[in-house]
Structure 1
C-alpha cells in the first residue's frame, strides 16, 4: 500500500481510539514497519494534522481534527516527502539538476561514479539500467530525465514550470520530441552512423536533417518553446540545444543560438554549471 493511500487509513484508525494507541499496534494494523509509521505521522504533522504523542502510551487524534483534512492531498503529501537526486556531474543528470534548482525545493544530491557505484546492488534497485539521473521522492522512483522533469513540474505546481492542462500541447510535444527523435538522431550522428533511406523509415528519429529543421522551426523567434512562460520543456530542450552546440552534435544555427542565449544565464542553470566546473577541476 502506498503512503498516499495509507495516510487516510491511519487517520481513520486513530479516530476509532479514545485513548492513546501505541505505534507498534498501529504499525501492525497497517502491515508496515514501525519506522514507516513514524514517517507517516511526520508527513501528517507536516501538512498540519495535529497528532498528539502521549509519552509511553502512544498517539491520540484530537476530536477537533477534520477528516479528511483539506491539507491531505496528494500534492501536499508529495511535497513533504524526502527528495533524493542521483547524478554524476558529467551526465544527463545536469538536466534534472537545473530543474531542481528552478523549483527551489530541498533535495539531497547523491553523486555516483561511473562503473562501481552506478552498478552497485543498492543503486540497481533504484535504476536497473545502472544509469543516472534518477530521483526517489518518498516511495516513488522516477528515471529518465524528461520523465523526471515532467514529474517534478507536477509534483511542485507552485513553481509554475508546467502550463495549465488545457495549454500543454506544445509542452508535451517538444519535451518528448527532444527525448525521442532529437536524442536518437543526435546520438547516431555523434557516432558517425548515417542510416540509409530504408533504415530512416524504420527509425523513430527518421532523418537527422529533418529533426534539426523541425527543432529550429519550433524555437525560431521564440523565447520559450511551450508558450509565453518558462517551463520544464525549456529546461529539457534547452539543455539538449546548449550541449548539442557545445559538443557539435547540433549545428550552431541562428535559431538555436538565439533560443539558448535566453536560457543559459538563468541563475538556476548557472548554479548547476558551477557544480560541473568544480567536478572538472577535480
Structure 2
C-alpha cells in the first residue's frame, strides 16, 4: 500500500468517527502498526491537516478542518532525525529506554561502560559529566533522564506522552518532584545521612518521611500521576518507585505498590526488562 493510499484511508476513518478513537484501535482499523500510524499522523500535520490527540481518549479530525489541495499528494521524502541513545543496562538509562519504547520511534542504542567508554574523549565531548543516559536527536544533545523524558514527549507529540500545555501543572510538578526532592532524599537516606531541620531547608528536599507521605498521597487511588492519561511523568516517577521498592531505598507502601503494578506490566516496560535480562545474560 502506498503512503498516499494510507493517508487517504486515515482521513476517511477519522472523518467517519465524530468521537476520538484510540491509537491502537485506529491502527488496527487501518491494518498498520502504531509506529506507522504516528508517522502518518505527523505527515498529515506537516501539510496542514491538524489531527487532534486528546490524552486518554484518542485522535479526532475536527469537522472544521479543511483539506488543503496538496494534502493527498505523496509527501516529499524527508529523512527523520536519528535518535542515538547512550546508556548502560544498570543505570538511570533504563528510564529513558522505557520512554523511547513508549514513543514507538526508531532509535540506535550505544552501551557505554563505567570508567572506560563513559570517560572517553568522544563521549566527554557529548556529555562532560561522563555519565549516562544521554541522547542525540539530530544535532540536539540532551542529558539528564527527566530532561530527556520531557524533551522526547515534546519532540514526538503524536505519542501523547505529555498533557496539553494548559493542563500540565501536575505533569511538571511530579516529574520534577521526583527529579529533585525525591532523588536527593533517597540518596541521603541511603547514605545514612539524617539532615537537621535547618539542613533540610538548605538542601531543599525536606524531611524524608514527609516526602514519602506526600508522594503516597499523590498516587493514592490514581492510575496515572498527572491526569487521566499515561505520561512521561509516570515513566519517571514510576521508575523511581519500582527501583526504590526493589532495592529497599523506598518503603513498600500500599499506594506505591498499586500504582507501580499498573505501570510495570505495560508492554513497553516489559520489553525494556527483557532487553536488560538479555544483555546481562550476554545475549
Determine if the TM-score, normalized by the shorter chain, exceeds 0.5: yes
Deviation at 1:148, TM superposition (A): 0.2
Confirm whether residue 263 of structure 1 aligns to residue 263 of structure 2.
Answer: yes
Residue aligning to 1:153: 153
Per-residue displacement from partner, 1:78-97 (whole Å, max 9, x unpaired)?
x9211100000000000000
Residue aligning to 2:113: 113
- Once residues 236 and 220 of structure 2 are traced to their aligned partners in structure 1, the CA distance between those partners, rounded to angstroms, is 17
Moved runs in structure 1, 4+ residues, more than 6 A? Answer: none
Residue aligning to 1:126: 126
Q: Which moved more, 1:272-281 or 1:247-256?
A: 272-281
Q: Which moved more, 1:272-281 or 1:180-189?
A: 272-281
What TM-score, normalized to structure 1? Answer: 0.72
Deviation at 1:281, TM superposition (A): 2.3
Residue aligning to 2:233: 233
- Once residues 253 and 277 of structure 1 are traced to their aligned partners in structure 2, the CA distance between those partners, rounded to angstroms, is 27
- Once residues 209 and 80 of structure 1 are traced to their aligned partners in structure 2, the CA distance between those partners, rounded to angstroms, is 46
What TM-score, normalized to structure 2? Answer: 0.72
- Once residues 230 and 198 of structure 2 are traced to their aligned partners in structure 1, the CA distance between those partners, rounded to angstroms, is 38
- Once residues 279 and 187 of structure 1 are traced to their aligned partners in structure 2, the CA distance between those partners, rounded to angstroms, is 27
Describe the SS at the equivalent of 1:91: coil
Residue aligning to 1:250: 250
Per-residue displacement from partner, 1:95-133 (whole Å, max 9, x unpaired)?
000000000000000000001100000000111000000
Rg comparison, structure with higher value? 1
Question: How many equivalent residue pairs?
Answer: 211
Residue aligning to 1:136: 136
Per-residue displacement from partner, 1:230-262 (whole Å, max 9, x unpaired)?
000000000000000001111000000000010
Describe the SS at the equivalent of 1:263: helix
Per-residue displacement from partner, 1:173-225 (whole Å, max 9, x unpaired)?
00000000001000111111111222112111111111111110100000000
Q: Which runs of 5+ in 2 are unaligned?
A: 1-45, 48-69
- Once residues 207 and 276 of structure 1 are traced to their aligned partners in structure 2, the CA distance between those partners, rounded to angstroms, is 34
Confirm whether residue 83 of structure 1 aligns to residue 100 of structure 2.
Answer: no
Q: Which runs of 5+ in 1 are unaligned?
A: 1-46, 49-65
- Once residues 204 and 144 of structure 1 are traced to their aligned partners in structure 2, the CA distance between those partners, rounded to angstroms, is 19
